[in-house]
Amino acid sequence: MKIEITVNGRKRQFDVEPNKLLLNLVRDELYLTGTKYGCGIGECGACTVHLDGEAVLACMVLAVDADGRQVDTIEGVAADGDLDPVQESYIEEGAIQCGFCTPGFIMTTKALLRENPSPTEGEIREYLKGNYCRCTGYVNIINAVQSAAKKLQT
Ligand code: FES
Ligand code: FES
């Protein structure tokens, strides 16, 4: 099937099998490997991207369902080489260890702060509950989200 998706602001055409996953499209055809293949069954959040601005699990979305829509991945977050405030905060707060989960966390955090610019700790934990991290224990991640929220409000 022929489809067209705007990926990180650039229109791209693809010829895909009907069962091709969006996750495999961005990783295998565009080499945007920042979006991680974790569980492949919608459980870990490592594959989170934005579809028309909403955080979605790319392992649970068919590429054909993204036809005519906008997909943003972690590679599109830094503007002209400048880190996004969310990325800066994750680094400053030590919210990254192995980094495997980080792209998914950052994409989910950006969606959260767009919907709710000043979330409570409880709201952060609830929104991020679909993203798993095996390394950090989550405390520094919560701190990073709170720090990013402050930065984005100033
Ligand atoms: S790889 Fe998609 S949720 Fe785990
Ligand atoms: S930093 Fe290693 S899984 Fe989160």
pLDDT in tens, 37-91: 999 999 999 999 999 999 999 999 999 999 999 999 999 999 788 999 999 999 9
Of 76, 110, 135, the last residue of a domain is 76
Report the separation in Å between the CA atom of 104 and the middle of ligand 2, taken as the mean of its atom positions.
Answer: 10
The answer to whether 6 touches 15, Cβ cutoff 8 Å, is no
- Is residue 71 domain-shared with residue 8, that is, in the same domain? yes
Q: Give the range of the structural domain holding residue 149, as residue numbers without chain letter.
A: 85-153
Contact, 33 vs 50, CB < 8 A? no
Q: How far is the C-alpha of 2 from the C-alpha of 131, rounded, in Å?
A: 32
- In this structure, the residues whose C-beta lies within 6 A of any atom of ligand 1 are 37-40, 42-47, 57, 59
CA proximity to 34, closest of 49, 13, 56: 49
Tokens of 16: 């895909």
Residue 113 belongs to domain with CATH number: 1.10.150.120
Rounded to the nearest integer, the mean pLDDT of the chain is 97
Which of 27, 44, 134 gets mutated to test ligand 1 (max ligand atoms within 8 A of its CB)? 44
State whether 96 and 71 are in the same domain: no
